[in-house]
Every structure is written in C-alpha cells, then in structure tokens.
Chains A and B, each alone.
Chain A
Amino acid sequence: MRMLGVVVVIFIAAPLLIVVPMSFSSARSLQFPPPGYWLGYYQAYFTDLTWLRPTWNSIVIATATMVLTMVLVVPATFALVRHRFAGKSIADLMMLMPLAVPHIVMAVGYYSFLGEYRLVHTHIGVVLAHTCLSVPIAFLVLSANLKGFDRTLERAAQSLGASPIKTFIHVTLPILRPGLVISALFAFVQSFDETVVAIFISGRNAETLPRKMFDSIRQEADPVIAVISTLLFAAVLLALLAPAGWKGIRSRLRARTPPTAITTGR
C-alpha cells in the first residue's frame, strides 16, 4: 500500500514540478532534461505584448467577474440560507445548474447568444458568461460559511442596542469576512482559469490568458508557456501558504505587544 502511495504521489507531483526547470530551459522546443539554463523566456514573457495583453485581459475580466458575482451572490445566499419560502429547493438547484452543464455546451450557447447582441469578442461578453459559471462556486463557499454562522451573535448584538443594519455591519459582515474573501477568490480563479468558453467567445480583442495558452500549445508549444505555468504555479503556492504564514506573523506580533496596549491603542 505504502509503495503504491509513493508512486501515486510521484505521479501527481512530477507534472507540477517539471514545468519549473522547463521555464529556465534554453531549448527552443519541448526538451527534457533541458540542454542549458537561462532567463530568456522570462524576459520574453515580460516584454512580449502578445502575452502581456491576454494576461491583462484575464486580470480585468476575472476582477470584473468576481465583483459582479459577489454583488449577485451575497444577497441571494442570505435569502437561500436564512429564509424558508415556496420554491426554495428549486432556487437552490438553479444556483448549482451552471456547474452541471458542460462548458462546451455553454460555449456554443454563448457564441450564438452573445453574437446576437454584438458582445462576442468583448470584455463585457466574457464577464457576463464567466459570472454565470462563477455563481455556483461562490454560492457553495459562502452558503457553507453562512450555515455555520451562529445567529445568537446577531441576537446578542441586537440585545446590546444594535439596529439590524448596525448588527450587519459590526457583527455579521466582519465574522463572515473570511468566507466572503474565499468565495470571491474562488470566483476570481474560476474566471481566470476558464478556458473553453473563452476560446469560443473572447476573440482577439478580449483574448484571455488561457485562450492564448491554448492556441500557443496547439500551434507551436512556445516555451514561454513554461514561464507562465511556473508563475501561475508560484501564485497558487503563495495563495495556499499565505494564510498560514500570515497567522504566524500576526500571532508573533501580538505576543510581543502587552494586551492592555491593544485595547486602548486601536
């Protein structure tokens, strides 16, 4: 069993690790082990507009998608988690539907639908489509958080003199903040990584990074892809380790400050 486990770990780890040395490779096409190492393709990525523009497009689109998703999902999640009403189970199901439909099907639909309104090949078009795909993920994360929220905290706030609005601002929102942040992050990543719909509707104008990568891999396997892969990989690693690191820093900071200084100082 243990041997098998080790093999599986290697199977999972190897593809993740191989892109890192590849990004420093001096080879013009796929070759491993690399014949030599240099930083040329990093330079190429950071100076080549055909790569930088899609990167920027992706950042803009993912940010807009994240904002729009949260604006729509936050109130809806409160309604679905905290209220009982006729048709609630259907609404619950509806929230998850975009996750159930294969992206290729949605891609065909958006290609035709957005075309009718001249939104194909526009940033707005991609954002509108991506928001649909991000909704279920943001909803799942946020509703799990909201279900775990202890509502006596809100009662306590009200008994202490906070109006419903003040309760929301001073108690509900701050306690829910981690859930909101993670939910928004999921929405962002979903859009940033989304490939299939973007291939069909983003066009040259609103070309996203995954679309550019897809085209590039299909046509020439540009070594710059290894650079982007390494950067994305580093971003994921950073995002995963950041919370633990941040906690460590905070607790260390707080250990050095005498407790009374905090209450009067802030």
Chain B
Amino acid sequence: MGATIARLAQRPNLWPWLLLAPLALYLAIFFLVPLADVAIMSVTEPKLSLANYERVLTGTLYQRVFFNTFLTAGLVTLACLLVGYPLAYLMNHSSQRTAMLILLLVTMSFWTSFLVRTYAWMVLLGNNGPVIGLLRAVGFETTPQLLFTRFSSTLAMVHILAPYMIMNIYSVMRKIDPVLIRSAESLGARGFSLFRHIYLPLTAPGIANGCVLVFVICLGFYVTPVLLGSPREQMIAGLIGTQIEEFLAFGMGSAMAMILLAVTLAILAIYHRRFGLDKLWG
C-alpha cells in the first residue's frame, strides 16, 4: 500500500507540459519561424552568400547609420537619466499628494500612444508652434529649423522613454529605508557624500534597469526617428524599413535586422547574467 503511494508520487508530472504546450507551439510557429525567416533571407536574398553582411559592415553609409544609432541611443539614455533621476528624487521627497500627482502624470505619459506623443512634439516644435513663437517673441529674427532634425527626434525619444527610467529609479528609491538616510546623516554624510555613498549605490539597480531598457528600445526605435528625424541622419530601424518598403531589398534589410537583433540580444544577455531578464520588465 505504502509502496503504491510512493510510486504514484514519483511518476513524472505531465500537467505543466500540457498547460505549456499550446503556448510553446504557438511561439515556435509564429515567433521563432518568422525570426528564422529573417536569418535565412539575410544569407539567401538575392543569392546564397554572406554578401549582404559584407556590404552592411563595410559600406560607409551603413557604418554611419550604425554609428548614428548608437550615438542617439547613448544620448537619449543619458538624457533620460538626467531627467529621470531628479524627478524620482523629487517624488520620493515630496508630500504623498504631490508624489501621487507626478506618478499619475508619468503613468499617463507612459500609457499614451507614442504616436500621439510624437505628434505632440511636431506641434510643439513646428514652424508655427509655440517654441518658435516664443523665440520670435523674444526677438530672434531668424529662427532655427527644429523639426526634422536630430534635435527633434532625440528630444521626442527622451520624452517617450523617460517614464521607463523614472519608474525604474523611483521604484527602488521608494524602497530605501528613511532610517538608513537618517543614520547616514547622523554619521556625518551630507549633500554630495550622502548621494555618492548612500543614494547612488542603493538606486544603482534601478539605474541599470532603466538605462538598459531605454538604450535597447532606442536602438530599435522606428516610428519617432522616421517621423521627426532628419532623413539624412537615419537610424538603423528606419533604414531597414526603407530597404524593405522602398527598395524591396529583403536581403539587405534582413542582414541589418540580424545585426540589430544580435546587438540587442548581446546587451540583454549581459544584463541577464547579472540580474536576470525577468527583473528588467518586472
């Protein structure tokens, strides 16, 4: 009798596999196969060779686009950090009511379609918009072209991605025990040293999270750079789009997509080994 029970308990449990099977099958067909398609096209279109990669990696046009993409992603990440950290700090140090209002605003921004936010920046920075209007009112004779420049697309991307940074930093900052800060102060930490020795190390995971997230999203950003950026300073995603849509150059587009994917996954893999990928979006 006891032996039967023991044997039943040892039987491998099929339940998890049954529950997981539909989704696993679905992702295999509708996620992995399309991804494999991209990989295959990159070496078979128009004929079986590595020529596409060679052109992408050696052509000056492509090199410039890649460089531009990394530069923009780096700039956006840095700007998001400079914008996000003070705001998270402010939220953590203001009344609950103020913090709630700011959180509501950030959440609103996060949830508002980025097409809407991109459009808003077109209005703000347009030739008949309030920023140019303000510059004219102050007395500028000739106003600079703001729209369709690296400046406008970078600014809009900072605005669109800042909520990721803010929420990540705020969530770790909120968990810092105020007693810790008070005890650090009682031990003589003030101003910058308090920030350097207490805040910075304790919020580092949030900063890392926010930066990786913003950088990775920015690398593959399509919509905003295409709509707001300068056509002469394309980013990689935009160039892939052009290759596919305008030139029907599937091989070139796929090769670039694979390189973008490889870079993205490499960054995420490093993050995964350090912190675990599930933390990134959690």
The prevalent SS among residues of A at the interface is helix
| Residue in A14, A72, A140 whose beta carbon sits within 8 Å of that of B281 in the complex | A140
Task: Give chain A's interface residues, CB within 8 Å of chain B.
Answer: 1-2, 4-5, 8-9, 11-16, 18-19, 22, 27, 29-33, 71-73, 75-76, 78-80, 82-83, 85, 88, 91-114, 128-129, 131-132, 135-137, 140, 144, 189, 193, 195-196, 199-200, 210, 213-214, 217-218, 221, 225-226, 228-229, 232-233, 236-237, 239-240
Cα distance, A13 to B106, chains bound together (Å) = 8
- In the complex formed, the residue of B with least CB distance to A213 is B115
Within the complex, what minimum Cβ distance (angstroms) separates A189 from chain B?
7
Bound CA span A112–B27, Å: 17
Residues from chain A with Cβ under 8 Å of B107 in the complex: 240
Mind listing 10 A-B residue pairs with CB under 8 Å? A19-B120, A30-B128, A33-B133, A72-B22, A76-B22, A95-B27, A100-B216, A104-B257, A193-B113, A236-B108
Most chain A CB within 10 A, of B13, B35, B41, B129, is at B35
CA distance A9 to B91 in the complex (A): 11
Complex Cα distance, B109 from A33, in Å, reads 22
**10 closest residue pairs by CB, A with B:** A102-B220, A109-B34, A5-B90, A15-B120, A79-B19, A83-B16, A113-B34, A79-B16, A75-B19, A76-B23
Pairwise interchain contact A135-B19, C-beta atoms closer than 8 A: no
Contact B86 A83 (CB under 8 A): no
Flag if A103 contacts B220 (CB, 8 Å).
yes
Tell me if B223 and A196 are in contact (CB < 8 A): yes
State whether A105 and B124 are in contact (beta carbons under 8 Å apart), knowing that A19-B116, A195-B115 are contacts in the complex: no
User: Which B residues are CB-close (under 8 A) to A144?
Assistant: 282
Q: A132 to B13, Cβ gap below 8 A?
A: no
Measured in the bound complex, the distance between the Cα atoms of B256 and A102 in whole Å is: 12
Give the chain A neighbours of B130 by CB distance below 8 A.
18, 32-33
Question: Out of B86, B102, B120, B123, which one reaches A4, CB within 8 Å?
Answer: B86
Chain B residues lying within 8 Å of A226, measured Cβ to Cβ, are 119, 123
> Contacts A112-B34, A112-B250, A140-B281 hold; do A229 and B119 have CB atoms under 8 A apart?
yes
B204 within 8 Å of A (CB atoms): no
- When the two chains form the complex, which single residue of A105, A131, A240 contacts B260, counting CB atoms closer than 8 Å? A105
A76 touches B253 (CB 8 A): no
Closest B residue to A112 using CB positions: B37
**Chain B residues closer than 8 Å to A11, beta-carbon distance:** 83, 159
Cβ of B76 under 8 Å from chain A: no
Binding site for A on B (CB under 8 A): 13, 15-20, 22-24, 26-27, 30-31, 33-38, 41, 83, 86-87, 89-90, 102, 104-109, 111-124, 126, 128-130, 133, 159, 162-163, 216, 219-220, 222-223, 226-227, 237, 240-241, 244-245, 250, 253-254, 257-258, 260-261, 264-265, 268, 272, 277-278, 281-282
A210 near B119 with CB under 8 A, answer no
> Quick check: A108 and B244 within 8 Å, CB to CB?
yes
**How far, in Å, is B6 (CB) from chain A's closest CB?**
19
Of the listed residues A31, A85, A102, the one surrounded by the most CB atoms of chain B closer than 10 A to its CB is A102
Considering the chains assembled together, what is the distance between the CA atoms of A137 and B233 in angstroms? 32
What is the CA–CA distance of A54 and B118 in the complex, to the nearest angstrom?
19
Q: Is the CB of A237 within 8 A of B108?
A: yes
**A135 CB to closest chain B CB, in angstroms?**
7
Say how far B250's CB is from chain A's closest CB, in angstroms: 7
Complex: A97 Cα to B268 Cα, angstroms: 10
Q: Among the listed B35, B38, B128, B244, which residue makes an inter-chain contact with A29, where contact means beta carbons less than 8 Å apart? A: B128
Q: Which residues of B contact A79 (CB under 8 A)?
A: 15-20
Known: A1-B86, A106-B35, A196-B223. A232 touches B113 (CB 8 A): yes
What distance in Å separates the Cβ of B163 from its nearest Cβ neighbour in chain A?
A: 8
**CB contact under 8 A between A93 and B277, given known A33-B130, A104-B237, A132-B27:** yes
In the complex, what's the smallest C-beta–C-beta distance from A158 to chain B, in angstroms? 17
Residues of B within 8 A of A31 (CB): 126, 128-129
- The interface residues of chain B lying within 8 Å CB-to-CB of A72 are 22-23, 26
Q: Is B34 a contact of A18 with CB atoms below 8 Å?
A: no
CA distance A128 to B27 in the complex (A): 10
A75-B22, A105-B261, A144-B282 are known contacts; what are 6 more A-B pairs with Cβ within 8 Å? A18-B123, A18-B124, A82-B16, A83-B13, A102-B237, A109-B38
A135 — which chain B residues lie within 8 A by C-beta?
Answer: 23, 27
In the docked arrangement, what's the CA distance between A149 and B39, Å? 41
Contact A214 B124 (CB under 8 A): no
Given A102-B264, A104-B220, A30 and B30 contact (CB-CB distance below 8 Å): no
Which of B163, B223, B258, B272 has a CB less than 8 Å from the CB of A214?
B223
**What residues on B are CB-neighbors of A14 within 8 Å?**
124
